[in-house]
Structure 1
Amino acid sequence: MSAEATPLPSEAAAQPAFSTLQRVILPHAGQMDTVPLYVDTGVATGARLSTMDGSADTGRTAKTVVPVSVAAEVAHAEDFISRTSMSVRAGNRVSFATYFNAFPASYWRRWTVLDDVRLAVRTTGTGTVVVYRSNARGSLQRVDSRRVTGPADTLFDLPLAPFGDGGWYWFDLVAGREPLVLEEASWQGRDDGRAPGRITLQITTMNKASFCLDNLRLLADDPAARELLQEILIVDQGTARVADHPDFEAVAAGLTGKLRIIHQDNLGGSGGFSRGMYEAVANGSDYALLLDDDVVIEPESIARLLTFADRCRKPTIVGGHMFDLYNRTVLHTFGEIVNPYRFQPDQPVADQVLGHDLRGSSLRNTAWLHRRVDVDYNGWWMDLIPTRVIREVGLALPVFIKWDDAEYGLRARKAGYPTVSLPGAAVWHVSWIDKDDLVGWQAYFHIRNRLISALIHSPYERGGRVLRESGYADIKHLISMQYYTAAGRAMALEDVLAGPDQLHRILPERIQQIRAMTQEYPDAQLAPDVEQYPAPHMAKPPRRGRGLAAPGYTRLIPWAAKTVVRQLVAPVPPESRERPQAHIAHQDNKWWRISQYDSALVSNAEGTGVSWYQRDRGELRHQLARSAALHAQLLREWPALRRAYQEAAARITSLPAWEQTFAAHTRSELRR
């Protein structure tokens, strides 16, 4: 494959024909831990693949061999001149085959009106610009190269036709005997003459003022990103308000009058994000950009999402990916779908890695990153939604937290509006690997909202496996002595059975009721210091000290039945009521392990506290019966509930329905 390479015409002549799709950017000063997301100094080996593709009659399948990444040079902080400029040391080679700087060609080919792309590179010094591409299997292919000397403007016109299923473009810089300086580079598309759409950027927050202000500072320091925003809206649902922070006025002064804060009662993520969507429609914006409050944004992502969305063939929801806030080169997820039979979030590509570290295996060395990933929804840590979509399909379900983003993506898809998770646009966020929101007060929202979403969208009779898995989950929680979690899940099933028309009314109430229940259950009460409990002691460890292991598939049902019977029948030893038998770390708190104890201290996921789990035969008996009765009722009433929720979905997500909820729960408004 070849590409045309010609000198860049004068800026005045080129500007009317082409506009920037994606700038090449470099990390902010002080964020050298993120360099592998911007620049790759490793060997340009690519993903080595077998020539067997598995489609021949031989029956043999392709085998992917990922080579060990060997660093050729080390990136030096002093080589980064600005956000768009860096120096390549004499004799060295730097590749821009990275998450933030490679061009995701297959996404542009599939979803936008573009047929080709132009790479424009401005350099000073002597060296070579080499352009590469990949295919959906991750194979690296050299496209073209150009020798540069002195101040040079070089462009490459590149087709998008070969990228049907995947693949990226990128370029390398190779310095000669002297340093080669990249002044700036960009991926460009033919300008259609339309003005960019206008965005309302909205952050929903709950007592995280410092996080909000940090992101507002990033926007204040980035005029290009700020120029794209019609309004910056903070929906503050907390008691420690952003506007009361001592740094607020100084930060707000840098936002050129675009900042507005709405203080409302705690309506959860669905209530906060729906408010942002509602206000974006009301103020005439073209898009609502939803951001979580506990993220760190890459400001360039705003322009990339907007530029892509403006050029999509039809109105499209365009979201960014999530990197781990505490390990910043770890890509937590590259796109998600909803498994229709289990009705659970799932990965669309079988070999996709959850929590992939781009420091250890770069884009060029990771085959699955080159296949285009088509998704059902994008997490609302960063999601750009056209207001045209909002006007047609409505706002979020009034479900407080959990499943609101997934359900919205499914609802939009039914209306003909796709969702794209766009590589090169991202935030850093605390990953849910470091949380356990299936246990505790959030368990209520997980199961209730999963069932509601399944009632509306599942194509299967009685929701596929969703009720069966819910019943299994209750048993696991109960034999794990997580009685508070099980009680919240039972309340969730009762609320599903109560129907859709009470969801707006209970929106601000349930969280208070669920948290009030913590006083009734020892497993919900957290002590910050393990020394507040008696020291663990167990005279006879389970299985005679041989250790505990998960039961195999064939033994699972009899093992679980035996465990349930033992917990129902065997009395709790008096000494287990007086002191715990063991202290179990969070990562070891598996249902098949904890269920073998009568009493145990268990650390929480955040490492901030410890709870005392205590077996209670009466509570186990009561909650098992309650769970069985509720699941049986749901199974019987599923067809009627399905009709009720599907009929009500448009009504309860409509702008007028939410408008009434906002009016009842708005406390104040502030403009700066």
Structure 2
Amino acid sequence: MSAQVFDPTSATIAVVTFNRSALLSRLLESVVRMDPKPGRVVIIDNASTDDTTAVVESFRDRLGTELVYRRLETNTGGSGGFSEGVRVAYELGSEWIWLMDDDVEVLPDGLAKMGRWAPRFRSIQGRRYDYDGSEFYWQYRIAERMGIPIPFAPAGFGESGYKEMNSGCFEGMFIHRDIVARIGLPDPRFFIYWDDQLYGWLASRITTSVIVDEFVLRRTREIRQWDMGIRHMNASSDAYRYYIMRNRAHIKQYYRTKGVYNPVLFGLGTTLTFGKELIRLFLVERTVRGTSNLFRGLRDGRRIARDRTWRPMQPLVDQPAPL
């Protein structure tokens, strides 16, 4: 690694929350225990109707770092929330932006662990523990032309302590402002789902993106799962099913602009995604209701794919500096 020293105060934790004040409180309690702490914490509230504002204010004097709170007028989904969180952190001058949902907590030395890799890489994903304390496996690579995660990419780490990735996850993405400047903000049009995978893929096209063998987060919300032995499949919702299929069209449009779109392989990826969601319905949620949302997502996605006015998110600088 280079001799550059990571400054924890150059990092901003950006959190998106919506009507989960108890979970948010637990996350903020974990920030209180952090050593070292980030320079600031940015909280984007997606128009919560519970006591989120009061909970945030109760931490202002004891968080131990600057607290920036933005309550949106409408619920823009996780995608809109993270887009706003990155925007706020970037405009505040943050060198590093650490993204996370409200249903995780940060391990006390989490930032120190991420900081060890900051001099070498500019798009970094740490590891996390699941709700039950087990090691969560995240699908860190995608089959690019199909636009889907590779579910059985090797889980082990070698002596290097990292693996290259071409995806991203907003539960812990640690990204440098120079990368944000070049790829722009996360795309709020996704609303939920695929947004972080696409953002990580864009980052990996201009820098070496890595997942590192460092446990830095812990999930604090239990999710119903189907245990497949070495992997798990989580339960979903009707909204997720809709956006899982609809947002394939946004990915298709990005692929077209980047010159990697292959209609046959991408179509195969869409078919496999549809089949996976059927399996999730039948084996995890044990119901046949919800398939209509998959078809509705496909239908609305076709309109997006045909939209000739569609444009990708734009870089934040006119002439990005070379990395």
Q: TM-score range by the shorter chain?
A: 0.7 to 0.9
Aligned to 1:243: 53
Report the Cα distance in structure 1 between the residues aligned to 2:136 and 2:238, rounded to whole angstroms.
23
Show the 5 A alignment for 1:89-488.
112-113=1-2, 191-192=3-4, 198-222=10-34, 224-226=35-37, 229-237=38-46, 238-245=48-55, 249-256=57-64, 258-264=66-72, 265-309=74-118, 311-312=119-120, 316-325=122-131, 327-328=132-133, 330-333=134-137, 336-347=140-151, 349-350=153-154, 352=155, 368-370=156-158, 372-397=162-187, 398-414=189-205, 416-429=206-219, 430=221, 434=225, 435-437=234-236, 439-457=237-255, 459-462=261-264, 463-469=266-272, 482-483=288-289, 485-488=290-293
The 3 A distance-change label for structure 1 pair 392 and 240 is same
Report the Cα distance in structure 2 between the residues aligned to 1:441 and 1:192, rounded to whole angstroms.
44
Report the Cα distance in structure 1 between the residues aligned to 2:136 and 2:6, rounded to whole angstroms.
35
User: Could you say what the CA RMSD is over the residues aligned between the two structures, in angstroms?
Assistant: 3.1
- 1:334-379 superposed Cα distances (whole Å, 9 cap, x missing partner): 55111235432124635x3xxxxxxxxxxxxxxx343753211232
Secondary structure in 1 matching 2:238: coil
Q: Whose Rg is larger?
A: 1
TM-score (norm 2): 0.79
Aligned to 1:92: none
Report the Cα distance in structure 1 between the residues aligned to 2:76 and 2:316, rounded to whole angstroms.
16
Secondary structure in 2 matching 1:332: coil
Shift of 1:270: 0.8
Secondary structure in 1 matching 2:247: helix
Report the Cα distance in structure 1 between the residues aligned to 2:6 and 2:97, rounded to whole angstroms.
19
Secondary structure in 2 matching 1:469: helix
The 3 A distance-change label for structure 1 pair 494 and 252 is same
TM-score (norm 1): 0.40
Secondary structure in 2 matching 1:296: strand
Contact 1:443–1:489 (CA<8 Å) still a contact in 2? yes
Shift of 1:225: 2.1
Shift of 1:474: 8.4
Report the Cα distance in structure 1 between the residues aligned to 2:312 and 2:33, rounded to whole angstroms.
41
Percent identity of paired positions between Structure 1 and Structure 2: 18
Report the Cα distance in structure 2 between the residues aligned to 1:433 and 1:346, rounded to whole angstroms.
22
The 3 A distance-change label for structure 1 pair 263 and 334 is closer
Secondary structure in 1 matching 2:294: helix
Amino acid at match of 1:255: L
Secondary structure in 2 matching 1:406: helix
Shift of 1:267: 0.8
- 1:4-46 superposed Cα distances (whole Å, 9 cap, x missing partner): xxxxxxxxxxxxxxxxxxxxxxxxxxxxxxxxxxxxxxxxxxx
Corresponding residue to 1:649 among 309, 312, 319: 312
Structure 1: runs of 5 or more not aligned = 1-111, 114-190, 353-367, 501-639, 657-672
Structure having the higher strand fraction is 1
Alignment coverage as a number of residue pairs: 294
Report the Cα distance in structure 1 between the residues aligned to 2:61 and 2:77, rounded to whole angstroms.
28
Contact 2:185–2:313 (CA<8 Å) still a contact in 1? no
Shift of 1:266: 1.1
